[in-house]
Amino acid sequence: MLTERLRQLDQAHVWHPFTAMSAYAKEEAPIIVDAEGFFLIDDQGRRYLDGHSSLWCNIHGHRVPAIDDAIRAQLDRVAHSTLLGLSNQPSIELAAELVRRAPAGLNKVFYADCGAAGVEVALKIAFQYHRQKSGGREERNLFACLGQAYHGDTVGTISLGGIDRFHSLFGSLMFPALRVPSPTELDQSTIDTLDRLLAEHAGQFAGFVIEPLVQAAAGIRIHPVGYLKLVRELTRKYGILLIADEIAVGFGRTGKLFACEHESVTPDMLILSKGLTGGYLPLAATLVTDEIYDAFLGDPWKGRSFQHGHTYTGNPLACAASLASIQLFDEHKVLENVQRLEVVMREELAPLNTANPIQNSIAQVRQRGVMVGIELVRDRQTMESFPGPMRIGHQVTLACRRRGVILRNIGDTIVLMPAPAMPESLVRNLCRAVVESLHKVLANPRPLDV
């Protein structure tokens, strides 16, 4: 009775994001009512391994005692008060902890309440900074980003987006951005092209926005080693702010706390969200250097203050969850666990790269840390795609669901993103369910019947 009532209300009133609602209504997707460890539990009592970390944000699992207790303790004090002209203890302590762990030089923290908002903060800071910096006012109105970029779904962040199926509809709302080719290898041509593009527009660029090492929503596109360091060197050379969007790649996903650490890069701004609270509550943080912050100082009547703020900026409950989550990285040696899981996932998925009945449909298996993208095609030799109406990627996620695993595809790329703290045994189960599902769907591809 409860299931039927919830399903009727869901279909009557809830509009799900990035979801084909006409198909969703027929699929009877799980209604999650409970969770335990790394499993989600639906209203029928069925358990599903959370194979995509509840959209890439869960770190330590669900119902984690330390995080639960931190939120409850904060509830006994104050759930929310504004940061506009006031402060609160968890937001102060979290800012200090983030600065301590971030690349050296990022000393100031501006809070927002989701990843896209964190990117918007960075865009507006960069825009205003160039008009107020000590070297003199500059009108810089252009941002650089990568092809196939994804940084969120606000109007500002879609302007940086390079994935047509997400953003092409809203072209008339977007501001211009210069898209640099997404790198496939770090050869002289890549270096020269990037250098030339940045040099040509150096006086116009307010900032270069990049996901370090991995473009997640592009289907786990892995950058060649050294590319991030090159971007840092060239942006510094031409006086362009480097804005590192670590919303998806931060908090252990790549094997280090922050992806920038792999190439010893300190950006001018670092954006964090998703895993920031362990996947519990919405929160974002944009970290900046003292040089940027100082450009916003001055007599109040001179109007140099940063003109931005949200109602729930620095929410005490979210900040308390974040502090507890960050402490667990040390207590449970989460980064060491990620390094082990990276090997486990590579081992379990290796058969997809060798001779097998479905090899012709596996275009590529891409992996960095615990981030994996399996790209599917109709013909590996010609790279012909499956017809859109077949929704092959979605068929694989449905097949995984029938095997007790929750995943989400991006088009015909299957994305695996287990929580960094997930045990090896569960990660093996995840990979094996995905391989089984791939074989089930790709052995005899046919149109989806919903």
150-197 pLDDT, tens digit per residue, is 999 999 999 999 888 777 889 899 999 999 999 999 999 999 999 999
182 with 259, same domain? yes
141 with 88, same domain? yes
168 with 314, same domain? yes
Q: Is residue 30 part of a domain?
A: yes
Rg (CA), the chain: 22
Choosing from 274, 298, 331, the residue where a domain stops is 331
Residue 153 burial class via C-beta count within 10 angstroms: exposed 0-12, middle 13-18, buried 19 and up = middle
Q: Is residue 447 part of a domain?
A: no
CATH number for the domain spanning 345: value is: 3.90.1150.10
Burial 332-366 (b: 16+ CB within 10 A, else e): bebbebbeebbebbeebbeebeeeeebeebbbbbb
Q: Is residue 449 part of a domain?
A: no
Choosing from 299, 331, 363, the residue where a domain stops is 331
What's the CA gap between 149 and 162, in Å, rounded? 5
Q: Is residue 132 part of a domain?
A: yes
Average pLDDT over residues 434-443: 97
Q: What is the pLDDT of residue 447?
A: 87
> From the CB of residue 301, how many other CB atoms can be counted at a distance below 10 Å?
6
Domain range for residue 424? 2-60+333-442
Q: What is the pLDDT of residue 1?
A: 75
Is it the case that residue 21 has pLDDT exceeding 80?
A: yes
What's the CA gap between 47 and 110, in Å, rounded? 38
194 with 319, same domain? yes
pLDDT tens per residue, range 302-343: 999 999 999 999 999 999 999 999 999 999 999 999 999 999
> What 3-state DSSP class applies to 48?
strand
Q: Is residue 289 part of a domain?
A: yes
193 with 100, same domain? yes
Q: What is the pLDDT of residue 450?
A: 60
- Give the Cα-Cα-Cα angle 103, 105, 107 (nearest 5 degrees): 100
> What 3-state DSSP class applies to 340?
helix
Q: Is residue 136 part of a domain?
A: yes
What's the CA gap between 296 and 304, in Å, rounded? 5
337 with 325, same domain? no
Q: Is residue 7 part of a domain?
A: yes
Choosing from 311, 331, 351, the residue where a domain stops is 331
- Give the Cα-Cα-Cα angle 50, 51, 55 (nearest 5 degrees): 80
Q: What is the pLDDT of residue 146?
A: 97
pLDDT tens per residue, range 267-277: 999 999 999 99
pLDDT tens per residue, range 392-425: 999 999 999 999 999 999 999 999 999 999 999 9
Which residues of 63-112 form beta strands (DSSP E)?
106-112
Q: What is the pLDDT of residue 135?
A: 86
230 with 165, same domain? yes
CATH number for the domain spanning 120: value is: 3.40.640.10
Is it the case that residue 257 has pLDDT exceeding 80?
A: yes
- Among the listed residues 230, 203, 258, the one whose alpha carbon sits nearest the alpha carbon of residue 146: 230
162 with 248, same domain? yes
What's the CA gap between 357 and 443, in Å, rounded? 7
Decide: 243 and 267 in contact? Cβ < 8 Å: yes
Global pTM? 0.97
Tally of domains within the chain: 2
Q: Can you tell me which residue has the tokens 């107020």?
A: 132
Question: Residue 232 gets which letter from DSSP?
Answer: H
337 with 390, same domain? yes
Is it the case that residue 213 has pLDDT exceeding 80?
A: yes
| Top-confidence residue, 111 or 27 | 111
Q: What is the pLDDT of residue 29?
A: 94
45 with 80, same domain? no
Mean pLDDT of the chain: 96
Q: What percent of the chain has pLDDT over 90?
A: 93
Q: How confident is the model at residue 255 (pLDDT cuts 50, 70, 90)?
A: very high
185 with 309, same domain? yes
Q: How confident is the model at residue 354 (pLDDT cuts 50, 70, 90)?
A: confident
53 with 133, same domain? no
What's the CA gap between 117 and 102, in Å, rounded? 20
Q: What is the pLDDT of residue 11?
A: 94
Is it the case that residue 386 has pLDDT exceeding 70?
A: yes
Burial 67-99 (b: 16+ CB within 10 A, else e): beebbeebeeeeeeeebeeeebebbeebbebbb
**Residues whose CB is less than 8 angstroms from the CB of residue 106 and which lie 6 or more positions away in sequence, other chains included:** 99, 266, 267, 269, 270, 287, 288, 289
Q: Is residue 409 part of a domain?
A: yes
Q: How confident is the model at residue 300 (pLDDT cuts 50, 70, 90)?
A: very high
Is it the case that residue 5 has pLDDT exceeding 70?
A: yes
Q: Can you tell me which residue has the tokens 């270069």?
A: 208
What's the CA gap between 371 and 247, in Å, rounded? 13
